[in-house]
Amino acid sequence: MRKILIIGGSGAGKSTLARQLGDILHIPVHHLDAIFWKPGWQPIERADLISEQKRIIQNEAWIIDGNYSATMDIRLKEADTVVFLHYKTIRCLYGVLKRRIQYHGKTRPDMGQDCPEKLDIEFIQWVYQFNRKKAKAIYEKLNQLSNTTIHIFTTPKQTHEFVTNLMK
């Protein structure tokens, strides 16, 4: 495990897992949200997002968390390990709400600078629809991979056990 991609619904804990794996494996962590969002919630251009991901994957080891399905293939082609946090929608909604309370008025460590935590109806709808609208396409992409270790966790307990086993 040297090139790890972590994907899953918003609020599932992708960034937290990325930090944990980075600490355990001593691998640099890259949060796509921190790359994509510039101060004041301004997105970067798609070409810049692609360029930055191509730069990161040239390294011999990395952990990248985030979906960004339009550029996911770039990361999937180079990853030796993919972790898909495919939690129930209600669990992801809980995670998003908890995060909103925890970081009220602050910017999360895995987010772009000067992007204070917010929660709006469009984002709630995104989280609510992820499993119905995005998960199938992710499984299709994962099924096309060869020579890639794939971990699919459907509960936080499974993810915790995975992390615990890595620490042994």
Return the domain boundaries, the chain.
3-166
Mean predicted lDDT score pLDDT of the chain: 96
CATH for 3-166 (3.30.200.20, 3.20.20.20, 3.40.50.800, 3.40.50.300):
3.40.50.300
What pLDDT, in 10s, does the model give residues 134-149?
Answer: 999 999 999 999 999 9
Residues of 62-82 as b/e, b for ≥16 C-beta within 10 angstroms? bbbbbbbeebbebbbebbebb
Report whether pLDDT(168) > 90.
no
What pLDDT, in 10s, does the model give residues 95-134?
Answer: 999 999 999 999 999 999 999 999 999 999 999 999 999 9
- Rounded mean pLDDT, 72-80: 97
CA–CA distance, 83 with 152 (Å, rounded to integer): 6
